[in-house]
A and B are shown apart, each in its own frame.
Chain A
Amino acid sequence: MPRPTSFGKDTGLQLRMTFTLFLLGLVYVVLIVALLGAGVNGATVGIIAVGLALFQLFGSDKLALRAMGAREVTPAEAPELHAMIDRLCVQADLPKPKVAVADTRMPNAFALGRSPKNATVCATTGIMELLSPAELEGVMAHELSHVANRDVLVMTLASFFATIAAYIVQFGFFFGGGSSDDDDNPSVLVLFLVSIGVYIVSFFLMQALSRYREFAADRGAAIITGRPSALASALQKISMGMDRIPQRDLRATSELSAFYIFPPGAGKALGNLFSTHPPMEKRIEALARLERQLQGVPA
């Protein structure tokens, strides 16, 4: 009997993600052209943005962990979690990431780090209490998929030009409100307008990209564990747990929330365009599709 070879295949997702990346690139090309047209200011802004991006890539891990109240744990402190991640790493062929635990009742998990060798995965004590071992395994596999897909790196690079655009907009307000310098340069105004456009468009594209990468991480988790339904049930439990427990515990930045297994405050209907995570039903539906592929049942 042939094995279900279609398991894990999702051409639609691949296409949407590639298309979003393409659109992002296109928007950024427009920005670069505008930058070149306006001349000087661009270089300075660029240097600032590069510095910020580098900081985000190399320095933000520890900061983010501290902000979450998470700390790294040794195998002796969290034997079950370590053993689980060990096995998943063998399956996913990844080097072992650092393992951290955040002491909060909020059930959640996230991954940090620019590359698999510098990665940290973190689970909250709440999620470890809430989920069964198989469900927790699904969640940790989701985080390891983020690591394997280098999502921190991809999202930081993808947001690079959006950051530049944001700075130009801010600078623009500065200069626009102040005195008139030398001569009224029309290209500065054009750059300002283009930057606003780039900023807005790239914002929505980034949100879309983030959602696709969530789907990809869900799929990655299902492939690693071979149990899509376990992750689906974990998501359901977490979303219910999220509603039960007050949200004020959480002081996370939106930057961080992109790599949560489940975004804080997602119980509220935010409208699809604005959210970094796809709606729960869609994710569970996608996992159900994976389970059908796995079982060899035609969709």
Chain B
Amino acid sequence: MGLFDILTGKRKLKAPAESRLFAMTTAAVTLEMSLELKSSGKAAIVFQPLETADFTGIVRDMEEVLRGTGDDTGTQVDKTDDSFGYRWMVLSDEDFEDLVVGINVVSQALQDGGYGERVLCAVFSFRDAGDKPVYWIYNYKRGSYYPFVPAEGAQRRDSERELRLKAQIGHELPVEPELERWFPLWGIPI
């Protein structure tokens, strides 16, 4: 943000960064091979549904496309609205690559409609050897991933595990460098 923008209080939502979503496709192989993290077969994309005719139209078209391709790839699509008013498009598919492609269909449709800045994040869900959930969250605005591992107890996260994951994954994923932007997402439905 420039000085003039600060002085005049001008605000624009940041548009998505150049997409590095697909880095997950190759990273998932490493996650499974060396870190024993297996995909739970589900991924989700979270966005703010605007209450406008234009936006609902775009979302409707996007869902149709998604279900259409889902018939070929076997990807199943569900949607839920959470208590914060965000919409979750949950994709289920045993083939991890199809999940990433499906997520990209959603974000691309919103971006093409001019609503790219309404996308909050994408969530890829993994299970470790003990069947505990481990999430990788993709922040569209920053084009980076970060790990999120909920711990026992309400609103607690296993930061040690997250930091270890960051070290273990190395350069295979663009990991968010600023730790204060590793925003938790509680109650992930996948």
Residues of chain A having any CB pair with chain B under 8 Å? 1-5, 8, 14, 17-18, 21, 75-76, 79, 82-84, 86-87, 89-93, 95-96, 133-134, 137, 145, 148-151, 153-154, 212-213, 216-217, 219-220, 223-227, 294-296
Cβ–Cβ < 8 Å partners of A226 in chain B? 48, 50, 118
Cβ–Cβ < 8 Å partners of A225 in chain B? 48
- Cα distance A93–B120 in the bound complex, in angstroms: 10
The stretch that binds A, out of B23-31, B89-97, B101-109, B181-189, is: B181-189
Residues of chain B having any CB pair with chain A under 8 Å? 1, 6-14, 48, 50-54, 57, 83-86, 113-115, 117-118, 120-121, 139, 141-142, 154-156, 178, 180-181, 183-186
Number of A-B contacts (CB under 8 A): 114
Cβ–Cβ < 8 Å partners of A8 in chain B? 11-12
B183 near A90 with CB under 8 A, answer yes
Q: Is the interface of B mostly helix, strand, loop or mixed?
A: loop
Cβ–Cβ < 8 Å partners of B185 in chain A? 83, 86
Residue on B nearest A134 in the bound complex, by CB? B85
What are 17 A-B pairs with beta-carbon distances under 8 A? A2-B114, A3-B115, A17-B7, A17-B8, A21-B7, A83-B185, A83-B186, A86-B184, A87-B183, A90-B141, A90-B183, A91-B13, A91-B48, A93-B142, A95-B180, A95-B181, A150-B6
Which one of B9, B52, B114, B178 lies within 8 Å of A212 (CB-CB)?
B9
A75 near B85 with CB under 8 A, answer no
**When A83-B186, A90-B121, A226-B48 are in contact, do A4 and B9 touch as well, CB less than 8 Å?**
no
A149 near B120 with CB under 8 A, answer no
Cβ–Cβ < 8 Å partners of B53 in chain A? 295-296
B9 near A220 with CB under 8 A, answer yes
**When A3-B115, A83-B84 are in contact, do A17 and B9 touch as well, CB less than 8 Å?**
yes
Cβ–Cβ < 8 Å partners of B12 in chain A? 8, 223
Cβ–Cβ < 8 Å partners of A224 in chain B? 11, 13
Cβ–Cβ < 8 Å partners of A219 in chain B? 11
Cβ–Cβ < 8 Å partners of A217 in chain B? 9
